[in-house]
Amino acid sequence: MEKQEKTDVTYEYSMRRRQFGKQTFFSDQGPELCVSIASNPAMYPNYILRNPVDVEIQNTGTMSEHYVNSVRVEYTSSGVNHVEGGWPKDINMNDPEATQRYRRKIEKDDSYIHAVMHLAHSMEHNILQNNAIDMYQTYYSELPDLPPVERSSCHTVNVYREPGARRPVRALSWQADGGARLAAAHAAVDLRTPARAPQHSYIWDIENANAPELILKPPHPLLDLQYNPRDQHTLVGGFLSGQVGWWDTRRGGEPVALCPPHAAHRELVRNVLFINSKTGAEFFSSSPDGVIKWWDARNLNEPTDTMIIDIVKTPTDTQNIANAYGVSALEYEPTIPTRFMVGTESGLIIGGNRKGKTAFEKLPTKYEAHLGPVYALQRNPTFLKNFLTVGDWTARVWSEDCRESSIIWTYSHQTKLTDGAWNPMRLWNIYYLKFSLFLVTQWDGCLSCWDLLRRQNAPLVTAQLCDEPLLRLRPHETGVLVACGSSKGTVYLAELSQNLGTADKNDKQLLTHILERENKRERILEARMRELRLKMRQERDAAPPAEPDSAHADSDLAEATAEYTQAVDEQLNNYSNST
């Protein structure tokens, strides 16, 4: 009990004895052996003798505290007025001849030389102290600061989920002139899809992910959807039925016009793109049927022009739709209005010229790009001679001057690549946007950012946006935002770091040197390969034909058959024993 004055409050603290724990009793007792482990003679050869051995053993950690404070130096500034003096009285210091004679007399004296040599060390020490660098002083403060370390990143800022069903995203398109609207086309082309499945597509406001701003109601599943670059309210689309149509968002979600079935493609429309025209209403479409058709949105009853993607070998040959290549990707650059490029399902890239008079002039170039279908094809918005292709497991950068091989390519990924694009899609400010960066979506849900100026053997940033496959991507015109569509109908809006979206002042010149260097290297390799092929052909033509040895061929066939039969029997025996 603790008692204080009457004016204070008295508190009492109490605790039971059992709450203190077991009582400790101390007594004097000698050491006791608890465990004794005998040595193992077998381990003697593994012992290493250490002599001497210093081991510190302490029950608790050693702690020390020490304070050091140096004596503060006090600095003062003072001035000295020096006048010439120390001359003998019989020497007039104002007479230059007298002072010069006296100086020569003193310099010849031996004591003067010894005195100078003795003072040289102390004078040198004082000079070095005067020229020493103060480590606490800030030097070169007028120089600019070093640039910050680049930190590349990519993260998701918003997610837009399809209401109701979860159909794959087939196309993405941003509103022109840096708009905040994003059009997403959804379609399920699986045979297991019910006939009455929803066929809606959506237009999203990127600031509102709760519900779409407008629901588009196409009569058939929509496979491609593109905004008009000259009109922010109109869109064109391609349908599973082979038809094309267009929308005006001011009139609602119903299509304004559709082409009739007899004028449509024979198969689904995979790509639609606007072309550079005076009216701003002309576009063209492609399909796996091997035909490209040009349309005018004001009148969709008949296409304005048609071209069959059939490469002829001579100028006199005619194109045949039975030999046409199925188109899987379409590319058009507005600054080159008469030319276009298509990617085929067989892996070819074919360059077209709409103004060609003959079939040979309409499709003048061909590139063997990939082993399978070409999923993406796009020219670099700054370097128009170079274009990007995505197919099978690689992404490649090509030059129009090299037709036999690409100049830059990525490593072979473990997962399939589904889409790719330069950043940005449409260059609106060449001095600030990153034209050396291209983006690639993968089947494992990753978005890869490749910068040709920073690293060419690996992506600069790889972001895992989702677990399902990413099928489509479309960068925004600002160069920072990227929309990616997945196989489950979800659109992910990713934001790139500032160093990925903006370019330095020397980036264009550096990228020019890289592309020219790789282009020159590929041309040299192509010339070398042509020489080797020509030499092998000449050797083959000059060699005499070998006579077939039928007996030897029959023995080889019999031996191979016996080995194959033995291998099959062993596999069957192993299987029967395991079961």
Asked if 537 and 466 count as a contact pair (C-beta separation under 8 A), the reply is no
Residue 319 near residue 310, CB atoms below 8 Å: yes
- The better pLDDT of the pair 152, 473 is held by 473
Residue predicted with more confidence, 575 or 334 = 334
User: Please, which residues bridge with residue 226 across strands?
Assistant: 236
Reported confidence tier of residue 154, pLDDT bands at 50, 70, 90: confident
Let me know if residue 20 belongs to a domain: no
> Residue 294 maps to which CATH number?
2.130.10.10
Tell whether 225 is covered by a domain: yes
- Label residue 550 by pLDDT band (50, 70, 90): low
Q: Mean pLDDT throughout 524-538? A: 86
Please spell the DSSP secondary structure of 210-269, one letter per residue: SS-SEEE--SS-EEEEEEETTEEEEEEEEETTS-EEEEEGGG-SS-SEE--GGGS-SS--
pLDDT at site 272: 93
Whether 551 is in a domain gets the answer no
Indicate left, alpha or beta for 177 from its phi (over 0: left) and psi (-120 to 50: alpha). Answer: left
- Asked, for residue 147, whether it belongs to a domain, the answer is no
pLDDT given at position 426? 43
Mean pLDDT of 391-419: 88
d(CA 355, CA 303): 16
Q: What is the dihedral of CA 456, 458, 462, 464, to 10 degrees?
A: 140
User: Which range is least confidently modeled, 275-289, 330-344, 421-435, 556-570?
Assistant: 421-435
Arithmetic mean of pLDDT, 528-537: 86
Q: Evaluate if residue 90 carries a pLDDT over 70.
A: yes
Query: Can you give the pLDDT at residue 172?
Result: 92
508 pLDDT above the threshold of 60: yes
Q: What confidence tens digit (pLDDT) does each residue in 277-297 have?
A: 888 889 999 999 889 999 988
Cβ atoms 442, 390 nearer than 8 A: no
Max mean pLDDT range (149-153, 255-259, 353-357): 255-259
467 within domain boundaries? yes
- Local confidence band at 203 (pLDDT 50, 70, 90 cut-offs): very high
Reported pTM: 0.66
Tokens 């077991």 belong to residue: 22
| pLDDT for the residue 19 | 77
Tell me, yes or no, whether 472 lies in a domain. yes
Q: Average pLDDT over the chain, rounded to whole?
A: 83
Q: Is residue 538 part of a domain?
A: no
Confidence of residue 397 (pLDDT cuts 50, 70, 90): very high
Q: Residue 4 pLDDT more than 60?
A: no
pLDDT for residue 441: 93
pLDDT at 454 over 50: yes
Residue 577: its pLDDT value, please?
65
Tell me whether residue 108 is in a domain. Answer: no
Neighbouring-strand partners of residue 433: 502
How many domains does the chain contain in total?
1
- Which domain covers residue 407, as residue numbers? 157-525
Query: What's residue 184's pLDDT?
Result: 92
Which of 502, 416, 396, 391 has its CA nearest to residue 456?
396
Q: Which is more confidently placed, 53 or 274?
A: 274
